[in-house]
Amino acid sequence: MSTVKKYLSLVKFSHTIFAMPFAMIGFFLGTIQTNRSQTIGLNWSTQTWSMWQVLLLKFFLVLVCMVTARSAAMAFNRYLDRSFDAKNPRTAIREIPKGIISPNSALRFVILSSTVFVLAAFCINPICFFLSPVALFVILFYSFTKRFTALCHLVLGLGLSLAPIGAYLAVTGHFSLLPVLFSLAVIFWVSGFDIIYALQDIDFDQSQNLYSIPSLLGIKNALKVSELLHVLSAAAVISAGFYGEFHWLYWVGILVFCGMLIYQHTIVKPNDLSKVNIAFMTANGIASVVFGVLVIVDLYL
């Protein structure tokens, strides 16, 4: 296995699919607002071309921030949890317990990713730079939370919810309610499906005195909490739809997004956890990508 593949596997790069579409929503929301405020049309004047060059550069920097922040968070989680991962049969095959990547190498990767993240934020604008340590604190702090609170799922959701707000700030340099609504949707959505994912480790977490909603409340009640969080997520994207005065494609996206939320709760049962991975990866991947694409297309209608 090549070095690149080892580290891509370490950070589960494929899971970037969850937050990236919401980051793109935030970015293109900001782009639309910037275009309107500057009243720049598609006449390809010198001013317009210069603006598009800046936006393309910011788009690249936002991607760099997304990838490096998430990579730092995931690698740090693997580094910090390496002793627990080695004991858990489900996670013992991960790169650090198996000796594919050493703990020190993983920690160096965290430092490198964090550094690149801050540098990219510096190149975007002052507010992104000044807030970058706050974002890093949140996403890295998550790795400690399972040791003392069952609300760890919400901290994970908070970390990923920074994506739409951060991308919006990268373009506009200021806060707005609409990207905040999308961030709320991400918090509740991610927290809900992370609870479902944590069902796989309920016995292990209890044996190691680790905290999670499933280990605290049991499978049945944990699924109820997940359902509630997903209802709140649906309410947030519906509220964003009305507030942002979106068109019909947005509402098609909501149908898909909410449909995938419902679907994962129909296939994961208290007495049957065999489809947790389908609910986690497939359903949520479809929900995020399809919703993100339809929202962005709707913005340009």
272: left (phi over 0), alpha (psi -120 to 50) or beta: beta
Instruction: State the Cα–Cα distance between residues 227 and 221, nearest whole angstrom.
Output: 10
Average per-residue pLDDT in the chain?
92
Q: 180-190: per-residue pLDDT in tens?
A: 999 999 999 99
Mean pLDDT confidence for 49-61: 83
Which residues are paired to 272 by β-bridges? 269
Amino acid at 238: I
Cβ–Cβ < 8 Å for 64, 53:
no
pLDDT score recorded for residue 44: 42
14: confidence class by pLDDT, cuts 50, 70, 90: confident
* CATH 1.10.3720.10 is the classification of domain 3-299: no
Instruction: State the Cα–Cα distance between residues 276 and 299, nearest whole angstrom.
Output: 34
Which residues are paired to 269 by β-bridges? 272
* N- to C-terminal Cα separation, the chain: 45
pLDDT score recorded for residue 37: 55
Domain parsing of the chain, residue ranges: 3-299
Backbone phi, psi, residue 271, to 5°: -105, 10
pLDDT score recorded for residue 43: 43
Cβ–Cβ < 8 Å for 173, 125:
yes
Cβ–Cβ < 8 Å for 275, 265:
no
Cβ–Cβ < 8 Å for 243, 262:
no
pLDDT score recorded for residue 52: 76
CB contact set of 231 (below 8 Å; sequence gap of 6+): none
170: confidence class by pLDDT, cuts 50, 70, 90: very high
pLDDT score recorded for residue 40: 39
In the predicted model, is pLDDT for residue 41 greater than 50?
A: no
Mean pLDDT confidence for 99-117: 96
Tokens of 122: 């510096």
pLDDT score recorded for residue 104: 96
Question: How many beta carbons lie within 10 A of that of residue 110, not counting itself?
Answer: 23
Report the C-alpha dihedral over residues 237, 12, 84, 3, rounded to 10 degrees: -160
In the predicted model, is pLDDT for residue 17 greater than 90?
A: no
33: confidence class by pLDDT, cuts 50, 70, 90: confident
pLDDT score recorded for residue 38: 55
pLDDT score recorded for residue 15: 77
